[in-house]
Amino acid sequence: MDYTHRWVNHEECFVDPVTGARTNRIEGAWEVHIKRHLKRMRGVRKELLTGYLDEFLWKTWFFAGEVPVSTCMEGLVMAIRKHYHV
């Protein structure tokens, strides 16, 4: 995968004048995906939002597409075992 990590200091500018780096594309993409996920759930109570975002990120980082809850749980257990050497 050809990828170059760049960043923008939003206190100075929104597009880096030297590299042309900008964040609006990735921020917009995340917004669309998260909104779609939350719409499928028919809304979320404010106090539960953080947990739902954690779940969304976990699934998008480690699994492609829709997967059963059991697959996600197996992946979570494997990650815990690997991290804690159990």
Query: Cα torsion at 40, 43, 48, 50 (round to 10°)?
Result: 60
Distance of CA 41 to the CA centre of its chain: 17
**Whether residue 19 sits in one domain with residue 52:** no
Q: What is the pLDDT of residues 1-40, one digit of tens each?
A: 565 666 666 667 667 677 766 666 656 666 677 777 777 7
Q: What is the pLDDT of residues 40-63, one digit of tens each?
A: 777 778 888 888 878 777 777 777
> Do 31 and 69 belong together in one domain?
no
Domain range holding 1?
Answer: 1-43
When divided into structural domains, the chain yields a total of: 2
